């Protein structure tokens, strides 16, 4: 494979990469799971660095309140309520036409996570919830795919690189996800843009090292506080009794085929995920729903308002019901207008 030596000249001059490293990046592929603040920063750097293929996954749409930290998006994306994966793909393609970019507007579930992870050289965490991270950990450990964990709250971020079979996985370090409602979230405690951008940058460095087969992948848990300007690292060890990498019991992966209604913390919203993925004919549904309330459809996402609720419906049948934090109420709204 020939790489554009002129384009990447300054990066090739960096001795840890060189022309050989650049070629490995061009042959490499990454899954960026979650395209919010972390994912946007990491994906931009990976695409600009010349990684050959990047797969983007996100379940949500761009909103004005994202723009202070999600550096891939602009006001037009928010006004059009574009799905983040689609908007990200559009901006990333403009940055580097040589990078093959795929976008999936889906929630990461036990049903699809193995498919999403399959075939990539590294997975980069841009997620906003622990349930999905444990699912990604299971899928990556099971398939032997390296992944870079990252999370942010306020001005502090954390990251760790996981090489399955070589050092600890996420469950070795944090055996169980925190119970819902036990940790503050970015929706309740806030977040400043530099924190996810800095952690996204660290994640991108590690992902490039993995793709280049570098022996210098960092193995510690790293905490970065951008307000204080401090970086603290903690040595972590593999746990022989880890359910995932020790006993190879993939408990999160095995929770298959459940319809779920999950309250989205701090947002007065509930996400409904149907038991089976189904392609919803959104265009036709938009016409039908126009009789029952106010509808808009941007080609990707159907937005429907009625009874004081707002329903965002995605092509895979998933919906976010705004205006309630009650799962049953949201299920009712879904059943009334989408059918289930
Ligand atoms: Zn483990």
Q: What separation in Å is there between the alpha carbon of 215 and the centre of ligand 1? A: 21
Q: How far apart are CA 138 and CA 245, in angstroms?
A: 8
Residue 186 annotated to the active site: yes
Q: What are the residues whose beta carbon lies below 5 Å from ligand 1 (ion)?
A: 169, 171-172, 242, 244-245
186, 242, 245, 265: the active-site residue: 186
195-225: per-residue pLDDT in tens? 999 999 999 999 999 999 999 999 999 999 9
Lowest mean pLDDT among 126-130, 165-169, 236-240, 326-330: 326-330
Q: What separation in Å is there between the alpha carbon of 242 and the centre of ligand 1? A: 5
48, exposed or middle or buried, with CB in 10 Å at 0-12, 13-18, 19+?
middle
| Mean pLDDT across 168-182 | 81
Lowest mean pLDDT among 3-12, 165-174, 183-192, 212-221: 183-192
Find, among 332, 283, 333, the residue nearest to 305 by Cα. 333
Q: Is the pLDDT of residue 255 over 80?
A: no
Q: What separation in Å is there between the alpha carbon of 168 and the centre of ligand 1? A: 5
Q: What separation in Å is there between the alpha carbon of 112 and the centre of ligand 1? A: 22
Residue 257: band (very low, low, confident or very high) from pLDDT cuts 50, 70, 90: very low
Residue 276: band (very low, low, confident or very high) from pLDDT cuts 50, 70, 90: low
> Which tops the pLDDT comparison, 94 or 290?
94
The percent of residues above 70 in pLDDT, for the chain, comes to 93
Q: What separation in Å is there between the alpha carbon of 246 and the centre of ligand 1? A: 6
Could you tell me which CATH number the domain at 9-234 has?
3.40.50.720
pLDDT at 189: 76
Q: Is the pLDDT of residue 28 over 70?
A: yes
Strands 53-57, 122-125: pairing kind: unpaired
239, exposed or middle or buried, with CB in 10 Å at 0-12, 13-18, 19+?
middle
Q: How far apart are CA 304 and CA 295, in angstroms?
A: 5
Provide the CATH topology of domain 260-337: TATA-Binding Protein (3.30.310)
Q: What separation in Å is there between the alpha carbon of 109 and the centre of ligand 1? A: 20
With residue 296 as reference, give the H or E element that holds it: strand 294-297
- In the chain, % helix, strand, coil (3-state, to 5) comes to 35, 25, 45
Q: What separation in Å is there between the alpha carbon of 244 and the centre of ligand 1? A: 5
112-159: per-residue pLDDT in tens? 999 999 999 999 999 987 878 999 999 999 999 999 999 999 999 999
Q: How far apart are CA 46 and CA 66, in angstroms?
A: 21
Domain with CATH 3.40.50.720 in the chain: 9-234
> Which tops the pLDDT comparison, 257 or 9?
9
Q: What separation in Å is there between the alpha carbon of 170 and the centre of ligand 1? A: 6
Q: Is the pLDDT of residue 184 over 70?
A: no
pLDDT at 264: 75
263, exposed or middle or buried, with CB in 10 Å at 0-12, 13-18, 19+?
middle
pLDDT at 284: 86
| Mean pLDDT across 265-286 | 80
Q: Is the pLDDT of residue 24 over 70?
A: yes
Lowest mean pLDDT among 68-82, 98-112, 274-288: 274-288
Q: Report the chain's mean pLDDT, rounded to a whole number.
A: 91
């Amino acid at each position: 494979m020939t790489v554009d030596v002129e384009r990447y000249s300054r990066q090739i001059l960096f001795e840890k990469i060189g022309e050989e490293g650049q070629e490995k990046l061009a042959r490499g592929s990454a899954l960026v799971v979650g395209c919010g603040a972390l994912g946007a920063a990491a994906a931009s750097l990976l695409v600009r660095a010349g990684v050959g293929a990047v797969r983007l996954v996100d379940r949500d749409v761009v909103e004005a309140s994202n723009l202070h930290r999600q550096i891939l998006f602009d006001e037009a994306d928010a006004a059009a309520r574009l799905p983040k994966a689609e908007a990200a793909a559009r901006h990333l393609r403009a940055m580097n036409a040589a990078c093959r970019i795929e976008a999936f507007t889906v929630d990461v579930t036990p049903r699809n996570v193995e498919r999403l992870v399959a075939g990539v050289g590294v997975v980069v965490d841009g997620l906003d919830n622990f349930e999905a991270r444990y699912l990604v950990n299971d899928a990556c450990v099971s398939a032997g795919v390296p992944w870079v964990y990252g999370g942010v709250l306020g001005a502090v971020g954390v990251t760790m690189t996981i090489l399955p079979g070589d050092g600890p996985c996420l469950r070795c370090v944090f055996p169980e996800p925190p119970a819902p409602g036990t940790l503050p979230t970015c929706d309740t405690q806030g977040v400043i843009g530099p924190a996810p951008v800095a952690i996204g940058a660290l994640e991108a460095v590690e992902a490039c090292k993995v793709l280049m087969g570098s022996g210098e992948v960092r193995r510690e848990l790293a905490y970065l506080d951008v307000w204080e300007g401090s970086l603290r690292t903690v040595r972590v060890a593999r746990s022989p009794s880890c359910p995932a990498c020790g006993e190879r019991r993939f408990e999160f992966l095995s929770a298959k085929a459940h319809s779920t209604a999950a309250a989205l913390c701090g947002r007065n919203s509930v996400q409904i995920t149907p038991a089976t993925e189904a392609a919803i004919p959104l265009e036709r549904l938009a016409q039908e729903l126009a009789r029952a309330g106010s509808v808009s459809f941007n080609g990707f996402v159907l937005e429907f308002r009625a009874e004081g609720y707002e329903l965002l419906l995605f092509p895979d049948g998933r919906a976010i019901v705004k205006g309630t934090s009650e799962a049953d109420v949201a299920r009712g709204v879904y059943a009334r207008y989408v059918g289930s």
